[in-house]
Structure 1
Amino acid sequence: MDRIRQRTKRRIVLGVCIAAAAAAVILIVLAVRGLLHKGADTSAGVEYIKAEEAGDITAIEKKISLLEQQDGSGEEGRSIKERFAGAVILGDSVAEGFEEYDILNASSVAAEIGVHLDELDGQISKVKELSPGVLFLYLGMNDVTATNGDVDRFVSEYKSVLDRLREEVPDAHIFVNSIFPVQEKALEEEPLLEKIPEYNDALKELCDGQTIAFIDNTDLVSDQYYEQDGIHFKADFYPVWAEHMAEVASL
Structure 2
Amino acid sequence: MITTGVDLAAQPARTAVAVVAWGADGAELTTLRLDNTDADVVRLAQGSAQVGIDCAFGWPDEFVAYVSAHARGEPPHPDLRGIAGRRRLAYRETDRVIQSLTGRLPLSVSTDRLGLTAMRCADLLAAFADTGDDVDRSGATGRLVEVYPAVALRTWRVDVTGYKTDAAARVSATANLLDAAPWLTLSPAQRALMEASDDAFDAVVAALIARAHALRATHAVPPARTAQARREGWIALPATPLTDLDPTRTVASTPG
TM range (shorter): 0.3 to 0.5
Q: If the length of structure 1 is used for normalisation, what is the TM-score?
A: 0.34
Higher strand share: 2
Q: If the length of structure 2 is used for normalisation, what is the TM-score?
A: 0.33
- Higher RCO (C-alpha under 8 Å, 6+ residues apart): 2
Higher helix share: 1
